Chains A and B, each alone.
Chain A
């Protein structure tokens, strides 16, 4: 991350000098930090609000309900791990927490499922472990609260009108990820 940050800064500086935008680059260097304060203040309230709503849903048993609803699908996607009750329940909780946008709950559950799957393999990642990671790298959030909060803070008239588009894009993205996984798992020996 340090390398990337320094590369971005250095590239901007050199490019700004070369293209005659040196003074604009100089003033922009001091504009980012106030913009970060503004962004956090404006989106902070909404992030807190949605985090609260999701906590209400979690305590109302939404995680368990989603896990139950998802388990037939997950059993088909992860046939080898399906015999292992503990791994499967961690997996179902991981996917459900992701759907609700509970990142703090999703990661430990996902890691528990991943270590269950790693036990069944020999050093290299098994097909199912890769599939679990692919599902987690493709966001599958029911309510994209950060993106909507960002739009609301920027003064959008209808910050939530991206919902159907986000759902379709997420489904397409996960679908392509799993399809790529299926193809690659045959090619990659």
Chain B
């Protein structure tokens, strides 16, 4: 099973390339153009990351993270969520770069294969920047009365966080 998992990235890449070739796609230039698009993404997230990693590092060094962690831990432990991820959960719906900064800091602090590191990665992968998405969509179509979209989306986020903490332990 371990072998299958460690090969999964290689298998996905090969299958995509082979499938593309069979369907007549110029896979090499598609790959290169996609990578160029990825570079634009990296350049776009770098400036906000500078600002937000500075804040996240200061927050950790000041001891505020530890204080927040112990403050919310009774509630989070009830849901089975490691309290160390509280800053990540707080930033996740508001700022994509902030969540990335916080998850990266957690992995540096606790290791990417620790329970906390895995939980952080799963949280990052299974939720979105909720408020940003809501602002983009309702802003674009000019709807001001969003009714219950925000509470429903936040329910989904909370469920995703709890599920991330649960699945990090068992998968």
A123 and B143 in contact, given A36-B46, A110-B137, A151-B112 (Cβ under 8 angstroms): yes
Q: Is A173 an interface residue (CB 8 A)?
A: yes
Q: C-beta contact mask, B74-100 vs A, less than 8 Å → 1, else 0? A: 000000000000000000001100101
Q: Is A70 an interface residue (CB 8 A)?
A: no
The one of A5, A40, A58, A160 that contacts B8, using a Cβ cutoff of 8 Å: A160
Say yes or no: B164 contacts A125, CB within 8 Å. no
Say yes or no: A158 contacts B6, CB within 8 Å. yes
Closest B residue, CB atoms, query A43: B42
Say yes or no: A47 contacts B42, CB within 8 Å. yes
Say yes or no: B159 contacts A172, CB within 8 Å. yes
The one of A32, A37, A150 that contacts B121, using a Cβ cutoff of 8 Å: A150
The one of A19, A130, A170 that contacts B126, using a Cβ cutoff of 8 Å: A170
Q: Is A75 an interface residue (CB 8 A)?
A: no
Q: Is A90 an interface residue (CB 8 A)?
A: no
Say yes or no: A51 contacts B37, CB within 8 Å. yes
| Nearest-Cβ distance from residue B47 to partner chain A, whole angstroms | 9
Say yes or no: A52 contacts B31, CB within 8 Å. yes
Tell me the interface secondary structure of chain A in the complex. Answer: helix
Say yes or no: A173 contacts B31, CB within 8 Å. no
Q: Is A129 an interface residue (CB 8 A)?
A: yes
Q: Is A69 an interface residue (CB 8 A)?
A: no
| Nearest-Cβ distance from residue A124 to partner chain B, whole angstroms | 4
A32 and B50 in contact, given A53-B34, A151-B112, A176-B159 (Cβ under 8 angstroms): yes
Residues of B within 8 A of A (CB): 2, 5-6, 8-9, 12-13, 16-17, 19-20, 23, 25-27, 30-39, 41-42, 45-46, 49-64, 67, 94-95, 98, 100-101, 103-105, 107-108, 111-113, 117-118, 121-128, 130, 133-134, 136-138, 140-149, 151-153, 155-160, 163-164, 167-168, 170-171
The 9 lowest CB-CB distance pairs between A and B, nearest first, are A55-B34, A177-B156, A144-B125, A51-B38, A173-B160, A32-B54, A16-B62, A28-B61, A176-B159
